Amino acid sequence: MQRIGVFICWCGSNIAATVDVKKVAETIKSEPGVVYSENYQYMCSENGQQLIKQAIKEHNLTGIVIGACSPRMHEATFRKAAEEAGLNPYMVEIANIREHCSWIHKDMDEATEKAVILVRTAIAKVKLNAPLQAGESPVIKRALVIGGGIAGIQAALDIADAGFEVDIVEKNATIGGRMAQLDKTFPTLDCSACILTPKMVDCAQHEKIDILSYSEVEDVKGFVGNFSVKIRRKARFVDETKCTGCKICMEKCPSKKGLNTFNMGLNNRPAIYIPFAQAIPNVAVIDPEQCIKLKTGKCGICQKFCGVGAIDYEQKDTFVERQYGAIVVATGFKPIELDAFNEYGYNDNKDVITSLELERLMNAAGPSNGVLLRPSDNEHPKVITFIQCVGSRDTSGCGKPYCSKICCMYTAKHAMLIREKYPDTQVNVFYIDVRTPGKNYDEFYRRAVEQYGVNYIKGMVGKVYNENGKLMVQGSNLIDNEQITIESDLVVLAAAIEPEPSVRKVATLLTASIDTNNFLTESHAKLRPVESPTAGVYLAGVCQGPKDIPETVSQASACAAKVIGLLVKDKLKTNPCVAMPDENMCNGCSQCANVCAYGAITYVDKEFRIGGGKTEIRRVANVNPAVCQGCGACTVTCPSGAMDLKGFSSKQIMSEVEAICKK
Amino acid sequence: MQEVTEKKEFTPTIVAFCCNWCSYAGADLAGSSRLTYPANVKIIRVPCSCRVNPMFVLKAFQQGADGVILCGCHPGDCHYVTGNYYTRRRMALLYSFLNYMGIEKERTRLEWVSAAEGARFSAVMNDFVKQVAELGENKRLTDLRVKEGE
Amino acid sequence: MKISYYPGCTLRTKAKELDDTARLCAKALGVEMEEIENWQCCGAVYPMGTDEIATKLSAVRALDYAKHNGGKLLTLCSACHNVIKRTNEDMKTNEDICSRANNYLKLDEPYKGETEVLHYLEMLKNVVGFENIKKAVVNPINRKIGAYYGCLLLRPSGVMAFDNPENPTIIEDFIRAIGGTPVVYPFRNECCGAYVSLKNSELPKKKSEKVLASAKEKGAEEVITACPLCLYNLQVNGGGILPVKYFTELLAEALGVKA
Amino acid sequence: MKDVELKMLERAKALLQSGEVARVIGWKKGEFCYDPAPASFESVEEMENGFVYNWFCGANLSKYLIQMAKKEGKTAVFLKPCDTYSFNQLVKEHRINRENVYVIAVECLAKLDVEKMKAKGVSFITDVEVVDKDVKVTTAYGVETLYKPDVVLSKCAVCTKTHQVKDEEIILHERPEREVNRFEEVEKLEAMTEDERFAFWREQLSKCIRCNACRNVCPACSCVKCVFDNPASGIAAKANDDKFEEQLFHIIRAFHVSGRCTDCGECSRVCPQNIPLHLLNRKFIKDIDTLYGEYQAGEESEGKTPLTTYTEGDTEPNDVFNGEAK
Amino acid sequence: MTKEERIENLNRLSGTDVRKCMKCGKCSGRCPAFKEMDIKPHQFVSMLCNGKIDELLECEAIWNCLSCMACVERCPRGVAPAAVVEAVRDTVVRMQGKNGIKAEEIPPIVDELIPQQLLVSAYRKYNK
């Protein structure tokens, strides 16, 4: 037998001035199942709570309804009070008679009548409430970071410094990512390697960090606190534990015509190589497409010269499986392909390059040792023209609809560095808008114009063509309303950036949502910007949206804070208001899993009795309460009504509807 | 004359389903901003608009509600990421279908109301109540089938 | 094989050599160009105004005829190709234009863009095949030749889908097939300005000189085109920088079918 | 049709004999030529004695596979074009294990509706022969000729379906291609006023006797236990007079199968009260097609339905009425 | 017609959405007739956006636009400046006595080599 207690709050005069609280309490007394009904000035006060607790004990209440302010205000308070009195906290319902009643109505009779209905509705619901227990799930105190660029490195260091084990999985042979390819960084112009490589070394030396380079995530199972991840360790044909990074193999390798991808293909490298001098791990890798031994079986020179016997042509991909409590995705970006932008002649002219290629051309460790020479003839370019927004903000289908965010700043950087180092060079920049929000950013850009005399032209380039050995850049100057053609020696395209394509696979494995541009979606654009909607998965760097290094590092540290906050817990308390299928009704049709944004639903084959001593095996849905967030999307999609939501069950809502409509 | 007065006095029963994160909070804001709307609007709190089963809407009508309105986070702002996108499809089909059955289309509505849109919540409710009041009582779904002797 | 063919106004008169050589070559390559009945001039320029219907009807008539005669419509003149292809796209995708045009024409069965519009060059590439042309060449053209695409064949690329609008290769491939050396130059896809000749005679001069100078700078000995208007403009206004011919003239020469 | 029947019989017997399949789902002779019923045959003898395939085999056999395919051994089934969509849909929803079924696609050429024939005054039918559009009916009183389009099942009148799945096929006669607008009746209703539509449906639904034939035959209604029998759903009939459940049964059912209904038309075929139930489902199909792009349930055996997916720019519910977006 | 209606007409006739323009100027950067255009391609878009149609209807540029579609091809936002130019030209030539070419002007400039298509297209573009 249900024993419901009702408590009507005055909220001082906030409710009592418009709602006749005594009348409400009195009227409700006669509701079936109600054994206690009281009103009080401030239910949320210490005394009010005491009154509730006392009533629960004295009257053996099985459920309580509080007519008061919004549940968003004090639901937690009243639940706690109920729990302290020995009543399950989920046997509490709130009738919102303040925000939804007294505050919006003026007529006392009308408001009182509505308050009664709202309380009745809450009673109807609470009668169907079931005591719920918040579940618990264990937390594995180890984090996985996917991607070893600056975002992954920063996140890993912060997590490891807090005392947790971290694995970095990097698909390339070294960590460092895009930042390792950069020359200088804005807005302070420090050398990228000088600030990045110490962090890379920290990672390598940190006792809590394990770097799995040349590896990829192959499969992910589990959920927040308890992921199980299978990692493919690609064969690098060099024993990582033996190689000392002496580079003798690189010298001796006879196959030297591979494109140096680290240098954006601007020069060549041998088939066995270490991507760059400060690579971590400082271990060689063999490109099987290029290696003569691996292709033809003849050669083996590197093996002969290797002093420590690290070369192993027989090496195969291996797999490791590890458990993690949290996962950080930091897969980064790449510049877009420029095939759809032939008007800039990128494919036809060696001296039309991308900004990332320029970084390598200007870098002391680059193909020209830091001397800016143009690729076609190794001459110093005297006129350099930059073109902004190549493929960014493009809705024609050729490029990307978004702003790539970093180009304005790095172009100002490039322009300034060139003018600084080669004052006789003329530098032009065609721009649509110069976007420099950020601390010291606009000042930086203005310095390029005012101190370094960079020629910024508001307008866009329509055509780049080669005439008599010169690159003719024809574009508009909108401020002067003219069409100009600039004879240039080098043209630099600020190509749009896009998420590293491998992110799609990672997102699928993690059931993390991804937008139409392949950026991972955050849980809330404003308030949960580093969390993926999938619990336990966090986002750092450009995989979530275009951003520069300072922002990336901030986001990575934010991620780390979130991960640490998760890993310090021994167990996770789970929201008990989650979906729960009735296995006897479930068809295993998969409709519910199709709409679950969190991947909380899986299917299992289960044996059921079907009468007559017989059993049958049926596929039924299984909700992981640690992953389910309780939205209820699945409940509606379930054809048999097998899926229901605890705390908001179909019957509860139906009874609320009935109570409201009762005339 | 008689009829006109009667129509004026008709106060429709309105059931409003509001998602906890946006629209319910929007309704709270309407309250704390003292923005009035008729008392015949009663709100049912659901975690997400996608929890609203079309059966709830049908139940409301069958039990004598004169109008049913669903409120959720704006598309793209769903607390549960994608919930309201499913709501949008379900309700588009349900509302269209109810109209196909002959239920006045003015009795059903879906509005996206954020937690900041207290004023909008109140305006939407005022408008909806007015719209439903003009239609008069809902009888079609309370007795879809011909009663004996009719 | 037979294919419905739309010659267009200029090919019957001033550009007769384009038409004649094209027919001869096609025949030599096993394609019979069957001139469609009662064709009317396409208007020589595609009317972009969204309310233009009457001006598109002659193109639709030709398209409808081809629909019932093999399903393909072969064009040769760049302007005709541009007008007919874009009109066809309207009939396919623009419901408003399609229904209004059909209201005018009162065909037995409404025309909805079913016909495939094929330029002679596309026919050479996709139907005959450049490899087969190579085999049929008896008299390889051993010259450096600049392809002049102009604007009409390529743009708007979304509709024309002829070739990469900035870096086309079909005529270069053609030149290679007949034994020549293609010369790629930056102005091959830039408009020669001929359309405004009657309003502004200076502009076409400047533009055609620029085109030919650019071709010459990159080493071309002659320039070929598919457009009678371009040919006229480059010849008359191009300052005689380079000789200009129809691409079919060279094809005829290579195949040894010169009349 | 006789030639097709013979071929089917021959194949089924061979499959049973070789042990390739343990049973064959087909149609069994009834008392008359026009009342064959779905049946499972486990031996050559059973086949020879009872198997039939004629102009009245309209029943969709897919749904029987839910139970039959669970049994030991492979099950062979004869599927007409429209039945294959239901089959795929059931495979998609994991209700049938595809591996356990051997699908024999059989030709259809539309099936006849004996009720419609009777309405034309033809009774005591003993045999039927169809030549093109002529239906030659032998009755106890002699031979009569009916115009085929007048007497085919409603579902066949607008059918353009083709086999979506098969392990082998028995097709001896090609069905001529044709263009039909299956939404014509829906459009007619949409063109009415709200009052007229309400009157129409009220009249139709008032005829319902809640016999559950529609639910039992519907291949989309494949639930282990129906929502109407689920006490937790809040809609289960507690007593026979439960108003909500009784009033809204068909609306709820239509919504439940939306995006999954293959438009097989079985609901209307079996309704003893001749309620045009398919017009409910077809409205959902039409709206889905217009709002979210053409979708035919059962064309594929995996993937999501229009109601379990979305796009960011979907039409707002307030803007959708009468199958059109504002 | 009110000004708003005339603006609306031009928008409809052009079939392009000028509000999509992000003012990058790529159209004008590419236009081969730029120097001969008194109103530049990007200005056509911008001026229609801002409702400056009287100036548009009086400009010379509509006679010099080559309709070569270079601006359409390269617009990153899917705007078609050439369609705006044509809409303005159509509007002008449809007005009484505003034909761009008068029959009597033709013979002196026609040489015997001129292809028909030039005359046909000129009539179609400039006259109504």
B147 band by pLDDT with thresholds 50, 70 and 90: low
- pLDDT tens digits, A438-460: 999 999 999 999 999 999 999 99
Cβ contact A147:A333 at 8 Å:
no
Confidence band of D224 (pLDDT split at 50, 70, 90): confident
E121 and chain C: CB distance < 8 Å anywhere? yes
User: Which subunits count as partners of chain E given 3+ CB pairs below 8 Å?
Assistant: A, C
Q: Do C186 and A468 touch (CB under 8 A)?
A: no
Q: What is the ipTM of this complex?
A: 0.65
Strands D134-139 and D125-131, sheet pairing: antiparallel
Q: Which fold has domain B2-134?
A: Rossmann fold (3.40.50)
Question: What are the DSSP calls for D186-209, one per residue?
Answer: HHHHHTS-HHHHHHHHHHHHHT--
The residues with which A486 forms a beta bridge, in sequence order, are: A473
Q: Any CB–CB contact under 8 A between E22 and chain C?
A: no
Burial of D15 (0-12, 13-18, 19+ CB in 10 A): buried
- Mean pLDDT over each residue of chain C, to the nearest integer: 94
pLDDT (0 to 100) of residue A501:
95
**Would you say E77 and E21 are in contact if contact means Cβ atoms under 8 Å apart?**
yes
For the cut 60, the answer to whether the pLDDT of residue B4 exceeds it is: no
The answer to whether the Cβ–Cβ distance between D232 and A641 falls below 8 Å is: yes
pLDDT band at D243 (very low <50, low <70, confident <90, very high): low
pTM over 0.80: no
- Contact status, residue A29 vs residue A37, Cβ threshold 8 Å: yes
Dihedrals phi, psi of C3, to nearest 5 degrees: -145, 135
Mean pLDDT of D74-86: 94
How close does chain C come to E101, measured CA to CA in Å? Answer: 8
pLDDT classification of C53: cutoffs 50, 70, 90: very high
Q: Over 90: is that where the pLDDT of A528 sits?
A: no
Residue B7: the pLDDT is 45
Cis peptide bond prior to A187, omega within 30° of 0: yes
Looking at domain E3-95, its CATH superfamily turns out to be: Alpha-helical ferredoxin (1.10.1060.10)
Among A342, A343, A467, beta carbon nearest to C217: A467
Residue type, E106: I
Specify whether domain A579-646 bears CATH 3.40.50.10490. no
Strands (E), chain B: 14-19, 41-46, 67-72, 108-112
Which burial class, exposed, middle or buried, applies to A32 when counting CB atoms under 10 A from its CB (0-12, 13-18, 19+)?
exposed
Q: Which CATH number fits domain C2-121: 1.10.10.10, 3.40.50.920, 1.20.1050.140, 3.40.50.11540?
A: 1.20.1050.140
pLDDT tier at D322, thresholds 50, 70, 90: low
Q: For residues A615 and A356, which has the higher predicted lDDT (pLDDT)?
A: A356
Tokens of D2: 């006789």
- Residues of chain B contacting D261 with CB distance shorter than 8 Å: none
Region of poorest pLDDT, from A452-456, A554-558, D165-169: D165-169
pLDDT score, position E21: 96
Say whether domain A142-233+318-332+502-567 belongs to CATH 3.50.50.60. yes
Q: Do A474 and E30 touch (CB under 8 A)?
A: yes
pLDDT at D245 over 80: no
Which residues of chain E are within 8 Å of residue A458 when distances are taken between CB atoms? Answer: 25
Architecture of the CATH domain C130-255: 3-Layer(aba) Sandwich (3.40)
Helix axis angle for A192-205 and A150-161, nearest 10°, is 40
C57-67 helix and C95-105 helix, angle to the nearest 10 degrees: 80
The answer to whether D304 contacts chain A (CB < 8 Å) is yes
| Touching, C vs D (3+ Cβ pairs under 8 A) | no
Confidence of residue A616 (pLDDT cuts 50, 70, 90): confident
Query: How large is the average pLDDT for residues A481-485?
Result: 97
Task: State which CATH number among 3.10.450, 2.30.29, 3.30.60, 3.40.50 fits the domain covering A4-126.
Answer: 3.40.50
Task: Measure the CA–CA gap between B15 and B11, rounded to whole angstroms.
Answer: 13
Chain B partners within 8 Å of D201 (Cβ): 101-102, 144
Output the pLDDT for position A561: 98
pLDDT digits (tens, 9 = 90+) for D134-151: 899 988 888 889 999 899
Segments making up each domain of chain C, as ranges: 2-121, 130-255
Q: What distance in Å separates residue B59's CA from the closest CA in chain D?
A: 7
Segment among A242-246, A595-599, D157-161, E102-106 with least mean pLDDT: E102-106
The reply to whether residue A465 touches residue C167, judged by beta carbons under 8 angstroms, is no
pLDDT tier for residue E10 given thresholds of 50, 70 and 90? very high
| Coil vs helix vs strand at D67 | helix
**Domain A336-498 fold:** FAD/NAD(P)-binding domain (3.50.50)
pLDDT single digits (tens) C68-101: 999 999 999 999 999 999 999 999 999 999 999 9
Asked whether the beta carbons of residue B83 and residue A100 sit closer than 8 angstroms, the reply is no
pLDDT-derived band at D236 (thresholds 50, 70, 90) equals low
Q: Cα dist. C46→C61, C79, C100, E68 in Å?
A: 15, 8, 17, 11
Is the Cβ pair B82, A595 closer than 8 Å?
yes
Q: Where are the domains of chain E?
A: 3-95, 100-128
pLDDT at residue A651 is higher than 50: yes
Q: How far apart are CA A621 and CA A23, in angstroms?
A: 48
Is pLDDT of C259 > 70? no
Question: Quick check: C212 pLDDT over 90?
Answer: yes
Res B2: pLDDT: 44
| Among candidate residues A536, A633, A416, A493, the one with its CA nearest the CA of residue A142 | A536
E strand map for A337-402: 352-354, 383-390
What pLDDT score does D325 carry? 55
Indicate the residue of C14, C45, C154 with minimum beta-carbon distance to E125: C45
pLDDT mean over D184-213: 91
C-beta atoms of A342 and C217 within 8 A: no
The answer to whether E81 and E72 are in contact (CB under 8 A) is yes
User: In terms of pLDDT, which residue wins out, B43 or D237?
Assistant: B43
D150 in A contact zone (CB under 8 Å): no
CA distance B113 to B84: 12
> Do residue E64 and residue C203 have CB atoms under 8 angstroms apart?
yes
- Residues of chain A within CATH 3.30.70.3270 domain(s) are 579-646
Task: Give the model confidence (pLDDT) of B58-93 as tens digits.
Answer: 999 988 899 999 999 988 878 888 899 999 999 999
Mean of the pLDDT values across residues A562-578? Answer: 93
Q: Is the CB of A348 less than 8 angstroms away from the CB of C217?
A: no
CATH 3.40.50 residue ranges of chain A are 4-126
pLDDT at E113 over 90: no
Render A204-242 in DSSP notation, one character per residue: HH-TTEEEE-SEEEEEEEEETTEEEEEEEE---SB-TTT
pLDDT of A93-124, one tens digit each? Answer: 999 999 999 999 999 999 999 999 999 999 99
What does each C-alpha distance from D141 to D6, D123, D138 come to in angstroms? 28, 9, 8
Looking at residue B5, its pLDDT comes to 44
Interface check E38 vs C, CB under 8 A: no
Nearest CA in chain A to E34: A483
Give the pLDDT of residue A294: 96
- Residue to mutate among B51, B55, B100, B135, with most D CBs inside 10 A, is B100
Residue A307 pLDDT level (bands cut at 50, 70, 90): very high
Q: Is the pLDDT of residue B1 over 60?
A: no
Sequence-distant (≥ 6) Cβ neighbours of residue A173 within 8 angstroms = A213, A214, A236, A274, A275, A279, A283, A285
